[in-house]
């Protein structure tokens, strides 16, 4: 009988810890979110699709070296009670083009292993804009922690890691009315 009580007590402790973890995690920006990094959406969007955020345009990039892209921009969105967050917006004619050609270029310049020197990337337009502050790998740190694809748009999002970057992608897309 002592072993049974011990098992019940252990199960109660484990359950309590799980419930406590769920409750404490509820303050997380992405908890309960159904946001997907790659979202097949048939809508065809352009820069004006982000006017509701509002997305503040800083630069328009030359896309001649970015296969199948229709346009590329760098800009900022300022969420309520926050500092400006930088984004790179790449527009393709359709979702298929964004996925087939755009993802490999986005992966090259986002995340912890991002390539940050013009000589290392295939499309070097805007390379300096993709560098963050701080020191990492010879003094260069990646600004964009990750990217998201929604329909014909690839959005590179500022963040110290993938979770923060994707949360910021979601924030801009929600503010623009692109996702609910």
Note the pLDDT of residue 34: 78
Question: For the purposes of burial, counting CB atoms within 10 Å of the CB of 15, is it exposed (0-12), middle (13-18) or buried (19 or more)?
Answer: exposed
Question: Residue range 140-150: average pLDDT?
Answer: 95
Question: For the purposes of burial, counting CB atoms within 10 Å of the CB of 164, is it exposed (0-12), middle (13-18) or buried (19 or more)?
Answer: middle
With tokens 């110290």, the residue in question is 160
Note the pLDDT of residue 55: 93
27 pLDDT higher than 80: no
Q: What is the largest CA-CA distance in the chain?
A: 76
For the chain, domain boundaries: 1-32, 34-175
48 pLDDT higher than 60: yes
Range with lowest mean pLDDT among 5-19, 54-68, 97-111? 5-19
76 pLDDT higher than 90: yes
Q: Which helix (H) or strand (E) holds 21?
A: helix 2-25
Question: Residue range 9-38: average pLDDT?
Answer: 48
What is the reported pTM?
A: 0.79
């Amino acid at each position: 009988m002592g072993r049974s009580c011990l098992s019940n007590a252990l199960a109660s402790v484990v359950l309590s810890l799980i419930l406590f973890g769920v409750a404490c995690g509820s303050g997380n920006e992405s908890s309960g979110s159904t946001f997907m990094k790659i979202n097949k959406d048939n809508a065809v969007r352009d820069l004006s699709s982000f006017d509701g955020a509002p997305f503040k345009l800083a630069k328009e990039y030359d896309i001649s070296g970015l296969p199948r892209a229709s346009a590329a921009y760098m800009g900022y969105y300022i969420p309520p009670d926050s500092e400006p967050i930088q984004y790179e917006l790449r527009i393709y004619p359709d979702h298929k083009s964004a996925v087939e050609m755009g993802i490999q270029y986005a992966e090259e310049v986002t995340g912890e292993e991002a390539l940050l020197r013009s000589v290392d990337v295939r499309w070097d337009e805007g390379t300096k804009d993709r560098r963050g502050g701080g020191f990492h790998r010879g003094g260069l740190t990646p600004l964009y922690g990750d990217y998201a694809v929604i329909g014909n748009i690839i959005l590179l999002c500022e963040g110290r890691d993938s979770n923060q970057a994707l949360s910021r992608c979601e924030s801009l897309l929600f503010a623009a009315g692109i996702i609910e």
